[in-house]
Amino acid sequence: MNGHSDMRKVLAAALAAALCLAGCNDGSSDNDGSQNVDIDLVGDQSYQDIAPPVTTTTSASAEEAASAAPTVPAGYKLWCNIAPYEETDWFEHFCGKGEYEPGYIYYELRDYGGRGKPLALLEKKFKDSSDAYYQTDTMMYAVSLEDEVVEVDKRDGSYRVLYTAQYGSVDILACSDRVGDEEARLVYVNDGDYIVQIDKNTEEYTLPVHSEGGISEIYCQGTWLNVATCRYCVYDKDYIVWADGDENWFWYHPEVDKNEPLVQGENALEKADPSWTIGEEVEFSYPPLDGRTGRVEIACTVEDAIGYREHGMEPGYLYFGQGVYDDYQYYLLLAKRFDDSKTPYQNDDYFYGVSEDKELCRVNKRDGTYEVLCNGVTDFCCTAVPGFTEQAEYMLYSDGKNVIRMDVETGGTETVASSNSGVVRVIYYGWERLEWQESVFANNAFDLSLGCDECKYSQEYFMWEDGGGNYYWYHPERDESEPLDYNALTNGGNY
């Protein structure tokens, strides 16, 4: 969660538009994999042969905060910037006009409102490179001029040193940002020719990568690159994507302690060797959900449609979209095929959809379990109005002969319409939205005069079609279905 001045994330987003990092098993590069790379690949030889022993470091006692740093309530979101060593306009715009000390951390004016002069967080100097700091709602992670990796509490200016350089200069700092993890669980820096992984909670560090060619880029879990990634690493492993000083790229696989070479294609980073795999010894399984939730989607079932088997998704299966564990890989929720022609409904806890076997299913999004609510379902819809109603009150579905209404909150059901010729379609429109679209866009797709003024804004009304092609408007206020000229209602559109 970086502020305006943290250009590192901006640069990462720009990189995303041009790069697509290849995953372990689905690379498609035609490159022959040949490279002249002078680099130690961790895992190809013993760890002791290429790196100093792993050690543990503890921080020094926290320094007293500078007297200028105010105390703010816990949970208050603060934003800060490091004063530049060369004069720039942006710093005064965000942090105030007046004298400031280059390298000091200053609060942004918006945190305290009004006009003012720069307000320092603490009396300690840091490197001002956008590649060398990261901040969360309450903490700043930055590199001091003494090459210390420092965690600063933005609420009171107290700080601790997580790591001090031992092999060279620290010029790059990145923090893990995987959705669902605590903020900045791991801190990554370069130290000379090494990448250092620091656990801020235990204050222990390891040296997973050593490169004779130096380190020029570090990306870790949660960094948005819009990439097709290694499915073994991406959900819960502490992988690293990095580049050496000669712009040779690698994917570090922590589960096998190996670096996989990547090459830059025309528009993407691809596997240097398309046949490279993580190895037979690694057994893949999805990590547990642990009660997490997010938006679910049905993998596309139309073979010639855009998105078919996107990111390796099996057609018809349920997947969490981006955002449950990270920003790159889809997470399988339920290996059961659903009909994506029947628009599903979901809230934070449940997904409602029709399976390919015509079962109306309610899927618990927090653990993947499900129950069948009805068999032989011919159609299904909910009464939520996107943009106007946040939560659906009712589900409407047909078992072939009846229209059944289910109360979403209680789960109670009742039959509200029936036909001897069957029920093939159930229709619900949000009339608030239809009228708004017509007023704003002059959209005359519907003849709004044919909507029932008594009940069209209710979540209990609906329209339905029987097996003979006849349409009806169900009026909940009098529990009655009235014949409807649906073609006239839709101005011949038959939506």
Q: How far, in Å, CA of 164 to CA of 170, rounded?
A: 9
Return the HEC string of 224-237: CCCCCCCCCCCCCC
Q: How confident is the model at residue 289 (pLDDT cuts 50, 70, 90)?
A: confident
Degrees (nearest 5) of the Cα angle 214, 216, 220? 115
Indicate left, alpha or beta for 184 from its phi (over 0: left) and psi (-120 to 50: alpha).
Answer: left
Q: Which residue has the higher pLDDT, 323 or 136?
A: 136
Q: Is the pLDDT of residue 316 over 80?
A: yes
pLDDT tens profile 223-249: 766 555 677 787 788 999 999 999 999
Please tell me the predicted confidence (pLDDT) of residue 390.
Answer: 60
Q: Is the pLDDT of residue 195 over 90?
A: yes
pLDDT, averaged across the chain: 80
Q: Is the pLDDT of residue 165 over 80?
A: yes
Please tell me the predicted confidence (pLDDT) of residue 342.
Answer: 92
Please tell me the predicted confidence (pLDDT) of residue 5.
Answer: 38
| Alpha carbon of residue 349 to chain centroid | 18
Average pLDDT over residues 164-180: 91
Average pLDDT over residues 6-30: 38
The answer to whether the CB of 82 falls within 8 A of the CB of 105 is yes
Please tell me the predicted confidence (pLDDT) of residue 87.
Answer: 82
Q: How far, in Å, CA of 351 to CA of 366, rounded?
A: 10
Average pLDDT over residues 350-357: 95
pLDDT tens profile 376-415: 999 999 997 655 556 788 999 999 999 999 999 999 999 9
Please tell me the predicted confidence (pLDDT) of residue 307.
Answer: 76
Average pLDDT over residues 273-286: 78
pLDDT tens profile 327-340: 456 788 998 999 99
User: Within 13 Å, how many C-alpha atoms sit on residue 318's CB side?
Assistant: 30
Please tell me the predicted confidence (pLDDT) of residue 389.
Answer: 52
Q: Is the pLDDT of residue 214 over 80?
A: yes
- For residue 140, the SS3 value is strand
Residues 6+ apart with CB under 8 A from 365: 293, 294, 296, 320, 333, 346, 348, 349, 350, 351
Q: Which residue has the higher pLDDT, 168 or 495?
A: 168
Which residue spans within 365-486 are E strands per DSSP? Answer: 370-374, 379-382, 394-398, 402-407, 413-418, 423-427, 462-466, 471-475, 480-484
pLDDT tens profile 41-94: 233 322 222 233 333 333 333 333 333 445 554 445 678 999 999 988 889 888
Q: Which two tokens stand for residue 241?
A: 């994507």
Count of other CB atoms within 10 angstroms of residue 152: 27
The answer to whether the CB of 267 falls within 8 A of the CB of 23 is no
pTM (two decimals): 0.59
Average pLDDT over residues 349-365: 95
Q: Which residue has the higher pLDDT, 286 or 246?
A: 246
